[in-house]
Structure 1
Amino acid sequence: MSHLPPPTRAAYDERDAVSALIADAFLPLAPVAWLVPDPDQRRAILTANFRILVEHAFFYGEVHTLEDRSAVAVWFHRTSPIPPPVEYERRLAAVCDPYTDRFETLDKLFDAHHPTAPHHHLAFLAVAAEKQCTGRGTALLRHHHAALDRVGLPAYLEASSTGSRDLYARHGYLPRQPFHLPDGATFYPMWRPAVQTRRSQPDEGAP
């Protein structure tokens, strides 16, 4: 994948563009159709909802893109408890109406299944539609996994399709018990165990 643009940190002032990219990539997913039943409202509501979380990740995690801004990965550092976004309930209601209750249901499901051990949480991995299946998602995964492996931290995510579930499985993620939205749309939580690279191990002969 040497031909791909290299990963880089996104800037805070890119949060709107990042949120729109994620929304566009997620539009075909089954859970999204339940969250926002009206297709005419779906993109705008998703973008505004994702913006709350993307903005939060700049303070409590990392947002990586490729240099051509064709893909993004949004990580939260769950090595210690993190607070919810500022005024989250008010902001959620403001941007998700009339479907706020559906987003609240999703939040409760995520919270109920989220592991408590220290880890990094991959909240979003999105690739622009015209660039999918080109290795861009894999490039962003490998970039952050390398950092996790240097310090021996695990990772967690919720895959929202069987295709993404299978992609993550190829990168060392192990399946946990799936959970479902009220209409039956399925999420596949997955856990990547900590990997200790040689660089993170004590020097040979050290006490």
Structure 2
Amino acid sequence: MGVRVRRADERDRGQVVRIMEEAFHHDPVSAWVFPDEAHRRAVHGRFLGAFADAALDGGWIDLLEDGTATALWLSVPADAPEEDDTPARMREVTDPGNERVELVGRLSAEAHPRGRAHVYLLMIGVSPERQGEGIGEALVSGVLDRCDRDGVPAYLEASSERSRRLYERLGFRLLGRGVDLPDGPSMWPMWRDPHTG
């Protein structure tokens, strides 16, 4: 599928957050972090905005030109620090009284592989009316093609069974056990070595 993608910048932040809010409003992990739907609607944009800021600062954001899909990527060096206060900062910025904001970040960080440079698909979102058209796969495939050419692995955490199946089709494999959120859904850490030949 041919999609027209451009690199987003700070001016696109609001649009990126809007796409992510629409795509993740009913996501199992988002619903666990913010179980009250009215509260989720009020603070979810701040939560997703923190991810957008991280990608703008330490990676890049791909944005479909028609404004219906976006992918947030980070470049992770081999010597990335083990300890990071990002989960605590996210809680402070997003929803200070909600310990789940910090917990999901800490549990994800514990599962994240260290010691090898890679690209990290932090989040990908497709507007609900465009889901199922192959847009997400096309957005990810372009980056994976570059990873293959450059010999760079990729990592992500799938937050639903549907996304996990998509990533398996793209060559990702499960990496150890899932991240089980207390009394909540699972996330699946997944790794993809670059394909050669």
Instruction: Identify whether the pair has TM-score above 0.5, normalized to the shorter chain.
Output: yes
The answer for the alignment partner of 1:186 in structure 2 is: 186
- SS of the residue corresponding to residue 196 of structure 2 reads coil
- SS of the residue corresponding to residue 153 of structure 1 reads coil
What displacement does 1:134 show? 0.8
Identity of matched residues, %: 32
What displacement does 1:29 show? 1.6
The letter for the 1-side match of 2:119 is H
The letter for the 1-side match of 2:65 is E
What displacement does 1:84 show? 5.9
Q: Which runs of 5+ in 1 are unaligned?
A: 198-207
The answer for the alignment partner of 2:33 in structure 1 is: 35
The answer for the alignment partner of 1:205 in structure 2 is: none
Q: Is the 8 A contact 2:87 2:102 kept in 1?
A: no
TM superposition score normalised by structure 2: 0.90
Q: Is the 8 A contact 1:174 1:190 kept in 2?
A: yes
The answer for the alignment partner of 2:50 in structure 1 is: 52
What displacement does 1:127 show? 0.2
- Within 5 Å, give how 1:3-18 maps onto structure 2: 5-18=3-16
The answer for the alignment partner of 1:24 in structure 2 is: 22
The answer for the alignment partner of 1:133 in structure 2 is: 132
1:119 aligns with 2:111: no
Greater Rg, structure 1 or structure 2? 1
Q: Is the 8 A contact 1:7 1:143 kept in 2?
A: no
C-alpha distance after superposition, 1:12-47 (max 9, x if no partner): 111122112112211112221220121101133121
Count of residue pairs the alignment pairs up: 193
The letter for the 2-side match of 1:22 is M
Q: Is the 8 A contact 1:151 1:196 kept in 2?
A: no
TM superposition score normalised by structure 1: 0.86
Which deviates more from structure 2 when the two are superposed, residues 87-96 or residues 128-137? Answer: 87-96
Q: Which runs of 5+ in 2 are unaligned?
A: none
Q: Is the 8 A contact 2:156 2:190 kept in 1?
A: yes
Separation in 1 of the partners of 2:28 and 2:161? 11
What displacement does 1:90 show? 4.9
The answer for the alignment partner of 1:150 in structure 2 is: 149
- Within 5 Å, give how 1:80-119 maps onto structure 2: 80=78, 81=80, 89-90=88-89, 92-99=91-98, 101-116=99-114, 117-119=116-118
Q: Is the 8 A contact 1:159 1:189 kept in 2?
A: yes
The answer for the alignment partner of 1:200 in structure 2 is: none
Q: Is the 8 A contact 1:153 1:195 kept in 2?
A: no
Q: Is the 8 A contact 2:90 2:102 kept in 1?
A: no
- SS of the residue corresponding to residue 16 of structure 2 reads helix
C-alpha distance after superposition, 1:140-194 (max 9, x if no partner): 0111111111110000000000000000000000012212111131101111112
What displacement does 1:64 show? 0.2
- SS of the residue corresponding to residue 172 of structure 1 reads coil
Separation in 2 of the partners of 1:106 and 1:140? 25
The letter for the 1-side match of 2:27 is L
Separation in 2 of the partners of 1:30 and 1:57? 22
CA RMSD of aligned residues (A): 1.9
